[in-house]
Structures are given as C-alpha cells and as structure tokens.
Structure 1
Amino acid sequence: MNDVSALTPHASSQNGRFVVVNSQAWMADGLTEVQRACFPDLSEAELMGPEHFRQHLQVFPEGQFAVWDNEQRRVAASSTDLRIDVDFAHYAHPYMEEVGNNTLSTHQPGGAWLYGADIGVHPEYRAQGLSTLLYGARQQLVRRLGLRGHVAGAMPKGYCQHADAMPIEEYVYRVGLNELKDPVLSVQLRRGYRVWGIIPDYLDDASCCNYGVFIIWRNPELGWPERARV
C-alpha cells in the first residue's frame, strides 16, 4: 500500500506535490533510505533502520512525520519525536541514551516537552522547503498537545571545518550572530529555536566533532510569568 490519500495531511507545499503525514509502517524502508542518505557520517549503531521506525509507531505514532512526494510516490523527508520531561540544569545526555538506543523507550506519555530525535531531508529534495514543512508540523503538534515546547540536540555539522581555528563555544556563538553558516544549526535558529547549551560526546559523527547543541523552542501559546522558568 503506497497511498497517503486516506491520511490526515498536516502540511503541504503550495503546488501540492509534497504533503506531511504521520509515518506509516509501510514507509519504513523509505524512512531508512532518507536516514542513511542524510547522515553518512553517523556510526552504524546510531542509524535508525526499518525495525526502529516501525517500533516508533507503536510508542508514539503522533510524533512520527513523513513528507510524501506525490509525483515520485516516495518518502522525501521525515522527522522522529517523543515526549519527555526536561531537567534544564542537567540537559547534557548522549543522543543514544536520550532516545533509548533508537527505540524511543524513553518516551514519557505525560512528558511536557517534545524532543526531536531526528529530522532529515533526502539530498535529492533539499532547498524545496521540506524542513520548513516538518518543523511546522512539529510545532503544531506541540500546540495541539499543549506542551511547553520543542527541544532537540542539534548537530553542528559545519564545525569540523572550523575546529582547528576555534572552540565549539565560539563557533556556536558566531553562528548565532549569523557570522558563520551551519547547515543544520543556522536553519533551526531561523525557525525560532534558541541555544540552551552544548553537549560534548553527544554522538559519534566526525562532521560535528561529536558535539550536539541543545536547542529550545517555546510554545508561544503558553505564558511564562517567571523569567527563570523554562
């Protein structure tokens, strides 16, 4: 079954070619293809496979999105999320620990925050606004569930080119000032995310020297009466 017509669309491109829907078990191979094309530097142990994507649908189906290409009838992009409670004083956790070794066993049904475990646009589909569609769907989910916001460990994939010239803190600061462009972090900052902190040994990826950047997007529909409250 390769038909999304019966699925609820969460977003779509203006020309109607691309539509965001909740991922389906029959998409598992296509989701895996996107994952491997997007993250060629990840270790084999950290990559998600078909069995992972099918398991995610058993854990938290509402948090799994796919961008479907109606012309080529294939998955063009995807994202994976779970719900968690966040201790912002102790946010620095390895990626695999945070996502239960890609099983999403760490999902908390009553968690106050949506955690972005994964997002990727197949290289063949980049610069067509698909990540914008996915981030929009995720933020709509936050609003719909009444969550406090969306958090993630961003991969600063451009840092490897600057590691000899500056520490990660300076790199992230300069990306935040728009002095440097990062292929991942810059995109997320443009979508309203803010840097909370840096995570050493977040994952095994040479492109970002194993660093992650903990980012946060707050639900604008909730009040924040206390300045220090997150």
Structure 2
Amino acid sequence: MTQPQMTGTPVAEFQGRSVLAARSDGRFVVVQAQASDAAALEAVQRACFPDLSESELATERHFLSHQAHFPAGQLAVLDTESGRLVGSSSDFQMRVDFAHYAHPYLEETGDNLFTTHDPHGDWLYGADIGVHPDVRGQGLATLLYGARHDLIRRLNLRGHVAGAMPKGYGAVCSTLSIEQYVMEVVRNERADPVLSVQLKRGYGVWGIIPDYLDDDSCCNHGVFIVWRNREYKET
C-alpha cells in the first residue's frame, strides 16, 4: 500500500482548492468539501453504508446544511487522476458532558443537519467518515483522520469524539454482550472492521451507546470514543 503523507497546512492546490493532506504519490488529496460536492458526497455515503437506515443516511440536503453550519469541518478526498470524489468526513464542534454521553446519533447531530454545531464548543464531533468501496485499503481514511486532527490543532480544541459503529458485532450478538465484544476488541483478542482501526489511531473507548442508530451490522450500538489533543492550550 502506498503510504499517505499528511501536512498541517495547505502546501498545494488541486482544482483551485487548497490541499490539506495528500498521499505521497499525489494520487489522492484531501480538500475542504464545498456545496457543489453535495450530490457526490451523498453517492459516497450510500456506497459506504448500505445497511444504514434511510432516515439516518446523509443526503444532498444534509451535506448542504453541514456547509451552512461549519464548512471547515467538511472534508473530501479527490482522485487527482479522474477528479472523482471518493471519500469524505463530516464534523462539527460541540461541548461534551462525559457523564451523559449516550445520545442517539440523530439527536446528537440535529437530525443529521448539524444544527447542534456550537462555534464555542471545545471538542470536534466526528459524525461521519467514509471511503468508497472501490478505493478502500489505499490509506485514504488515514489521510482524513490526519486532516481532522490538524483541524483540531489549528482550532485549539481538546480533541475528537465520535460514536464508532462496531460493525462486526451483529455477527456474534447472539453469543456475546456488546460489553464483552468491545472488551475483546480493546484487548486485541478480536478484530472489528471499524473500532479496531480507530483504536490503532490513538482513540480510547469511553463507553457504550445503546440505540445509537438503526443498523443491523452493529445491532444499533455505538461506542463512544475519544482522541485527546496533546497540544491543547488552556485560554
């Protein structure tokens, strides 16, 4: 696999957009998404999450709302050979009450419209990340996570939180509780296609979110994960 290279500040442009991160061979770049990308973002969303409830999928309307509330948190991966949009991540700022973190996805995200964005929030909330199945395994998620962490540092936020989807749990839910499953993943005794990858990126598990979303692959559970910005400075 070609190793990705990430940068903290834009170093080049592609199609008139500042490049926030790029794979070392330049084939794929991360840029800030634009309103004109909304239809392509919906197409990637549908390809990435075929099991997700239609009511919880982000559509063109939702992506336009994300742009209206917090454009800096909306990222896209472009294939520089074809110009095709092949991946994305969607984030907004919020305050986190770690004693009461268990909220359904649609409640947390303002029905997926990001009306809950708080410009004074000191955490970045990871609402969504997806790489089109056609180009998985090429380091694109790593590029997106790196660009997200760079944004957190630039904004001097405390860190990144998200409701991870334990997508391997649905296959074993009849024999394991969600708590047992997550513990085995944390101990590296079991691999989960989503949670294991996030743990390797420095995220820690804070707790389980029951009825987080409607998705059979994770039996509707979410796992609240946290990445802390070690460069955060109190102001």
TM-score, normalization: structure 2? 0.92
2:215 partner amino acid: D
Query: 1:147 — aligned with what?
Result: 157
Name the structure 2 match of 1:75. Answer: 85
Name the amino acid aligned to 2:23: S
Match among 215, 228, 231 for residue 218 of structure 1: 228
2:173 maps to 1:171:
no
Residue 29 (structure 1) shift:
1.2
- Output the CA distance in 2 between the equivalents of 1:90 and 1:100: 17
Q: What one-letter code is carried by the residue in structure 2 that aligns with 1:108?
A: D
Q: Deviations over 1:133-183 (max 9, x none)?
A: 000000000000000000000000000111111100010011111111111
Match of 1:65 among 75, 81, 84: 75
1:223 Cα deviation from its structure 2 partner = 6.6
C-alpha distance in 2 between matches for 1:120 and 1:183? 13
Pick the aligned partner of 1:195 from 202, 205, 222: 205
Q: Tell me the distance in 1 between the aligned counterparts of 2:189 and 2:136.
A: 23
What is the DSSP-based 3-state SS (H/G/I as helix, E as strand, rest coil) of the residue aligned with 2:176? coil
Counterpart-to-counterpart distance in 1, 2:201 and 2:16: 30
Match of 1:38 in 2: 48
Aligned to 1:21: 31
Moved over 2 A (4+): none
Number of the residue aligned with 1:123: 133
Cα deviation, 1:50-79, whole Å, max 9, x if unaligned, reads: 111111111100000000011121111100
CA distance in 2, matches of 1:219, 1:170: 28
Contact map agreement 2:19 2:29 (CA 8 A) in 1: yes
Which residue of structure 2 aligns with residue 157 of structure 1? 167
* Equivalent position amino acid for 2:207 in 1: G
| Equivalent position of 2:16 in the other structure | 6
Q: Which consecutive residues of structure 1, in runs of 5 or more, have no partner in the other structure?
A: 225-230
Is 1:206 aligned to 2:206, yes or no?
no
Aligned residues: 222
Q: Which of 134, 139, 145 is equivalent to 1:135?
A: 145
